[in-house]
Structure 1
Amino acid sequence: GGIPALICLLCVLVLLASLYFSTGSKSSASKLPPGPAPLPIIGNLHLIDIRRQDKSLMKLAEQYGPVFTLHFGFQKVVVLAGYEAVREALVSFTEEFVDRPPIPIFEEIQHGNGVFFSTGELWRTTRRFTMASMRNLGMGKKLIEERIIEELQFLIGSIQSFKGEQGAGSLRALNTAPTNITFAMLFGERFDYKDPMFITLLRCIDEVMVLLGSPLLHVSNPA
């Protein structure tokens, strides 16, 4: 009874070792920025607080710099922390950031389509169409300046209604104003901040962003 159990244990150890070296091999790691060493199977998930990923990533950035590599399970992820790192990546390395790893749940929903979820040439084509459409709706023109100034007045009124109180409500108002400008361009008129439809749309956007930031999605990614 002890020998088969020992054989099984050895097989498991060999499997874990092979997984570890496959996820953290020098050949692939040499092409990526440095980061914390991954554990077998889970990678660096033990370093991430699912409830506050932003704090976890900023803490890691203090140790490894503004650009570092994390392992979400078997998926390698390059993290950019801070405005300067993000700006340099998007401005100076546009081609390198065209292709992004697929996210399984959105592959099921979008089938790789859309400006947010497409990659490669499809993304380039979709982006060109989106930018042309937004310009036709006023982006980069006098019309968008008028929209921004109009929304700013509503934002100021909303902030003043809190009477100096700080909290989730005042922070939410800062997030809703830019979204409302985009909605005004798309739908022809702005939403009142208390409009149930507007609140529902914002909640859906928040849920999508939470899904996008979930490490569990990266773990389930077979790529």
Structure 2
Amino acid sequence: MALVQPLLMHVSITGALFATLLLFLVIYLFSISSSSQDEGKYPPGPKPLPLLGNLHMLNLKKTYMSLWELSKQYGSVYTVHFGPKKVVILAGYKAVKQALVNLSEEFGDRDITPIFNDFNDGFGISFSNGENWREMRRFALANLRDFGMGKKRSEEIITEETQYLKEEFEKFEGK
């Protein structure tokens, strides 16, 4: 503390503002250089601001209109930044069909919220991706078909079970 105190006495408000400005400039230059390294992997799009990304360009009440206007400038497939998160936008029927039908393997994954990923380590039907998810989905669908999913009998079973559940709820008489 004895070493820091004399330094703090000589720091002026102007010096503190200058240091803060310099820090933001360094962060900005660093973000530009790091984003340009993986630009080749993503489609073109508007240049993002540090921390904000392209949020300043969007009408947050009508985001779809803002994204559609950007598609006129950058094409039907382009990249925007929602804060620090990079998002590839597909605008128009042809681009969406190409991605979801013809390139379904590449576009089959979903963005999982980190808390769910931490909770189940990427396992489970609801919050997993990739080959693990495909295998569990195949297994679940095969077993559900064995139990009659999609057949008239399964509808009858569901209706019957719903009736039992309703009767159990009625026992509480609204309490």
Question: How many Å apart are 1:78 and its aligned residue?
Answer: 0.9
Output the CA distance in 1 between the equivalents of 2:116 and 2:59: 23
SS at match of 2:17: helix
Amino acid in structure 1 at the alignment position of 2:78 = F
Q: What is the count of residue pairs matched by the alignment?
A: 145
Aligned residues with identical type, % of pairs: 44
1:12 paired with 2:24, answer yes
1:82 paired with 2:92, answer yes
- Post-superposition CA distance 1:78-129 (Å, at most 9, x none): 1112232222112222232244443235446776455453112222113323
Corresponding position of 2:76: 66
Amino acid in structure 1 at the alignment position of 2:29 = A
Amino acid in structure 1 at the alignment position of 2:70 = L
- Judge which range, 11-20 or 69-78, deviates more: 11-20
Amino acid in structure 1 at the alignment position of 2:30 = S
Equivalent residue in structure 2 for 1:103, among 113, 124, 131: 113
Question: How many Å apart are 1:57 and its aligned residue?
Answer: 2.0
Q: Which has the higher contact order (CA 8 A, sep 6+)?
A: 1
- Post-superposition CA distance 1:138-185 (Å, at most 9, x none): 2xxxx59xxxxxxxxxxxxxxxxxxxxxxxxxxxxxxxxxxxxxxx79
Output the CA distance in 2 between the equivalents of 1:137 and 1:98: 24
Structure showing greater radius of gyration is: 2
TM-score by length of 1: 0.53
Question: How many Å apart are 1:60 and its aligned residue?
Answer: 1.9
TM-score by length of 2: 0.65
Question: How many Å apart are 1:58 and its aligned residue?
Answer: 2.0
1:3 paired with 2:7, answer no
Output the CA distance in 1 between the equivalents of 2:156 and 2:79: 38
Corresponding position of 1:21: 33
Match runs of 1:133-212 below 5 Å: 136-138=148-150, 187-188=158-159
Question: How many Å apart are 1:40 and its aligned residue?
Answer: 1.4
- Change in 2 beyond 3 A, CA 1:36/1:133: farther
Output the CA distance in 1 between the equivalents of 2:103 and 2:94: 13
